[in-house]
Amino acid sequence: GRITNGQTASAGQFPYQVGLSLKLSALSSAWCGGSLIGSQWVLTAAHCTDGVQSVTVYLGATVRTSAEITVTVSSSNIIIHSGWNSNTLKNDISLIKISAVSYSSRVQPVSLPAISSSYSNYVGATAVASGWGKISDSATGVTTNLQYAYVPVVANSVCSNVYGSSIVTSSNICISTTKPVAVTVKLSVTLQSHNMKFLVVFTLLLATAYASPVLFQRQLEVPVLADELGGRITNGQTASAGQFPYQVGLSLKLSALSSAWCGGSLIGSQWVLTAAHCTDGVQSVTVYLGATVRTSAEITVTVSSSNIIIHSGWNSNTLKNDISLIKISAVSYSSRVQPVSLPAISSSYSNYVGATAVASGWGKISDSATGVTTNLQYAYVPVVANSVCSNVYGSSIVTSSNICISTTGGISTCSGDSGGPLVDTSSGVQIGLTSFGAAAGCTKGYPAAFTRVTSYLDWIKTNTGISY
């Protein structure tokens, strides 16, 4: 989460403040806040604890990772409200049970309102929000020092006017962020080429760095999927019109409030190939064909989720089978719109180690960039043995159905290039589609992993009839 335009807390000022490091997978973890409500109980949001493997609880900390007490518990110690709904964000509340802690000047529980037949709606009250999290919209990652801000509670209608009454209910409470002050919950879903799951509303507090109330985003802390934002090519070159006529841009509608960007490739007049983590859970997709400037396409087609085929073996935890197809109405080919060839179906395939491949996409062009680029970027990258990737990400994540590239010199696919093509320069066939990289950042020299196209030629043929 974050407090923007807030102040830095002094030690012991918020002794009930808890920091939570949430382990999402072997590859990724995220950060959220919480409160100590008893010697064995921490209160937090359901969207923070949903799907985590374990949680490390930091108590009595002002500097984020220097806690008086640190406790790690498994998911069996987490109680999520049975009515929690990740689509409507209803009942976004959960409890974490820890071994009993001793109170001190820096570790104290916060009181809850007394149970009563009727409650104040707190409209007009001044509340204090606290947390680590981003301190500005452009900040990357969480802050070191605990931040806080005084905020006015406003009527729920102020929030429902922005987010809709299906999202904001009587079990939410709203704050105004005219200042702009914001609390964002820091936890992002691992995959997500999505600048994605934008969670709205926190059970206790809601805010945003706009002058209207805010969106909460789960955001990652460590190594994770290539898409923090959809993908990118760092340290690459700008493509000329028609240079990559098979390159497709995808604008993915996640909800009324949010959309994300991915890449893809045209493999036939009616078929686009992309990553499953791009299309998973989307409402509709707008496909841009023949574009070099991101939104100036020769052809634009919007299709609903019923036109998306996601591999039945797709697993968002292990990232296995990260591949999907989008069916569009037949397009006419031109100098700027052409399909890419796939490897011929065979009894054995090259592993392409040592080959030079070209990756393309509109993603971020630097680790500090916010959002995707306007002009299509590309980079020549060497294919390396899968062991180079599995040494970094682990053999449970990297399998024979991945293909790996080296990112020496900081040339890499990154956020924004998710789902986009990796093409062998000597044969001109597509050998990979962007899947994941290191959450540490795209320019840090970690290898990047792709879905290996030769592992899915039969699946593509079965679903589209396309084969070579």
Active site residues: 277, 322, 418
**DSSP bridge partners of 220:** 30
* Three-state secondary structure call for residue 10: coil
C-alpha closest to that of 44 among 104, 102, 84: 84
What does the block give as tokens for 122?
């707190």
Q: What's the CA gap between 89 and 85, in Å, rounded?
A: 5
Phi-psi region of 201 (alpha: psi -120 to 50; beta: other; left: phi over 0): left
C-alpha closest to that of 314 among 278, 344, 266, 286: 278
Are 340 and 421 a contacting pair, CB within 8 Å?
yes
Q: Sign of the CA dihedral 299, 416, 371, 206?
A: positive
Q: What's the CA gap between 255 and 383, in Å, rounded?
A: 37
Strands 308-310 and 284-289: unpaired
E strand map for 347-427: 356-361, 377-384, 402-405, 412-414, 421-424
Residue 458 is classified by DSSP as H
